[in-house]
Amino acid sequence: EAQVTQNPRYLITVTGKKLTVTCSQNMNHEYMSWYRQDPGLGLRQIYYSMNVEVTDKGDVPEGYKVSRKEKRNFPLILESPSPNQTSLYFCASGDPREFGYEQYFGPGTRLTVT
């Protein structure tokens, strides 16, 4: 089954404790991306990656890092989480079309930073 998987699905942590949310896709997509969803703000793009080793900032990259060493994996790293990073996070991979990517989203990771 074609899918994007994220782990963990739920995470409660404390301020300053480094964490990594993993993302993996089995569709052989070059493009991957991370979003956060917050009430009243919709989905906002954090980082995206056009292919292995190439990543670029989205709309809200501050406080996040990403790594793309393999095509299938795109982990999101929070080096020093803060309460304002409490959010619902989605990873996506993209299928190229004529004018851009159609994205397939994972099920989401709900992160709480206390």
Partner 1 sequence: DQQVKQNSPSLSVQEGRISILNCDYTNSMFDYFLWYKKYPAEGPTFLISISSIKDKNEDGRFTVFLNKSAKHLSLHIVPSQPGDSAVYFCAASATGNQFYFGTGTSLTVIP
Separation CA 81–CA 103 (nearest Å): 27
User: Which of residues 75, 103, 111, 113 is near partner 1 by CB under 8 A?
Assistant: 103
Separation CA 14–CA 11 (nearest Å): 10
Span interacting with partner 1, options 14-22, 39-47, 69-77, 79-87, rule CB under 8 A: 39-47
- Cβ neighbors of 45 (< 8 A, separation 6 or more) are 33, 34, 35, 58, 59, 60
Assess 41 for contact with partner 1 (CB under 8 A): yes
> Which residues contact partner 1 (rule: CB under 8 A)?
4, 31, 33, 35, 40-45, 48, 50, 56, 58-59, 90, 92, 94, 97-108
